[in-house]
Structure 1
Amino acid sequence: MGDNNDRYAAAFEEFEKLSPEDRLRAVLSIRAPNDQRFTSAFVEQQCKLRDVKITGPNRSLVTFAFRVERWYCNASGTLHGGAQATIYDIATSMAMQAIGKRDFWINGGVSRVLTVTYLRPAPEGEELLLECDVVHMGKKLAMVKGTLRRASDGAIISTCDHNKAAVPTKPGMPRL
């Protein structure tokens, strides 16, 4: 287990050295070709990093872009509410990874409460922007706000409040 601990520690150390933009590019570049999960398809194929701004200590504003694919649509041909909630969960967690430190949010934590408010539909093919505002990252709890907009005119599709709790990087992995 010692070799694995050393390997994990080295990987986290290298990840911490990256700029916030490079951290997110690294996360988005992970490939699992045999993984058929919705989350893998979104991260690997659709989600594109647009902008990263550090807005204060333990705060950031990250913007992602994606197109509404049929895979994410309901029977009405619009972005499914459950898909939106999952996309918020993924993206707000990645926004935290941009600025987290070892044993301090580097894995994005786990959800406590994810509230999504839906305002208007986003039809298949629509280009969207997802802004993730890391409002607060304390030692154990964090708050991230998300806003999903049409890229064409900035109209708000939905918003989210995501409350998160810090956890060890992976059950059984050493705390670094």
Structure 2
Amino acid sequence: MTALSPTIDELTQRADACQRELLSAQVKLTTPPVSRLKLQHIEPTIKGDRVASACVTFSFTVDPTDCNTWGTIHGGCVFTVFNAAGKIAAAVVANGARGLVSTDLTTNYLAGVPAGSTVTVEMDCLRATRSIAFLRGSIRDASGALCYICVQNVGFEL
């Protein structure tokens, strides 16, 4: 990285600030899962003095309140986790992004994850323009098996 490139600490601060903003939105449905997303790792791709893309990894422990009647994570909770993680990843890449909103989020449900499981949520922000970020994501169980995938676009203002 060049001297002007953002450091991992600066990228982590961007992610933390975005998560705090999401939590303060007072959307009752999104608060519990979003508050349990734990940032694990940021792997940026630097071009010149900017972050061109980044893979942002979180861990998340499935609570019984996140589950459906079969005892596996509810589809709405999966969607909420992807929604929040995607916005955080977009904020990491698009420095100064405000008013983040998912303009498209397609989720595929491949396998259920039971309560008590800790999963890995990985969001790849593939590219960000001046107003939209393009992402893909996955959720894997503790054994590394792919359980959910998504494609997401996040709009924002700079």
TM interval, shorter chain, is 0.7 to 0.9
Unpaired runs of 5+ residues, structure 2, are: 1-8
Unpaired runs of 5+ residues, structure 1, are: 1-17, 169-176
Matched, 1:144 2:135: yes
Work out the CA distance in 2 between the residues paired with 1:31 and 1:121. 26
Residue aligning to 1:162: 152
Residues 126-137 of structure 1 correspond to what in structure 2 (within 5 A)?
A: 126-137=117-128
Residue aligning to 1:72: 66
The structure-2 alpha-carbon separation of the partners of 1:116 and 1:55, relative to structure 1 and needing over 3 Å to count, comes to same
Matched, 1:38 2:38: no
RMSD: 2.3
Work out the CA distance in 1 between the residues paired with 2:23 and 2:88. 17
Q: Segments of 4+ in structure 1 off by > 3 A?
A: 25-33
Residue aligning to 2:3: none
Q: Deviations over 1:78-136 (max 9, x none)?
A: 0011111111000110111123223xxx2362222110011101011111000000011
The structure-2 alpha-carbon separation of the partners of 1:32 and 1:65, relative to structure 1 and needing over 3 Å to count, comes to closer
Work out the CA distance in 2 between the residues paired with 1:156 and 1:78. 15
Count the aligned residue pairs.
145
The structure-2 alpha-carbon separation of the partners of 1:24 and 1:142, relative to structure 1 and needing over 3 Å to count, comes to closer
Of Structure 1 and Structure 2, which has the larger fraction of its residues in strand? Answer: 2
TM-score (norm 1): 0.73
Matched, 1:88 2:78: no
Q: Percent identity?
A: 28
The structure-2 alpha-carbon separation of the partners of 1:54 and 1:108, relative to structure 1 and needing over 3 Å to count, comes to farther
